[in-house]
Amino acid sequence: MATAAPGEAPDFDRHFRRALWAVTGVIAVAAAIVHSAKAADERSAFIRWRPQVLDFWQGINIYETHFFPNPPIMPITLSPLMALPQ
């Protein structure tokens, strides 16, 4: 493994990765803040889709009773999130 000689420039790749992780963290926190504000106003997609996903698992054809343009995989993948308390 090569080591940097004294006086050489620091490892750019290592600093780039740290900066990338920091930016990713800031974006994740900002997205969480925006989503929490939407969820507080009950404008979240999860809140809007909850009755439809629950109807899907009760055997109701949500494509006839609700405007649900997504493929059937969507209510299946959202099911674990719908099991969480409101």
Structure-model confidence comparison of residues 18 and 9, the more confident one: 18
Cβ-based neighbours of 86, under 8 Å, separated by 6 or more: 47, 50
pLDDT one-digit tens code per residue, 28-80: 999 999 888 877 777 777 777 888 888 888 998 888 888 777 888 888 888 88
- What pLDDT does residue 40 have? 75
Q: What is the pLDDT of residue 36?
A: 83
Q: What is the pTM of this model?
A: 0.50
Average pLDDT of the residues in 7-35: 87
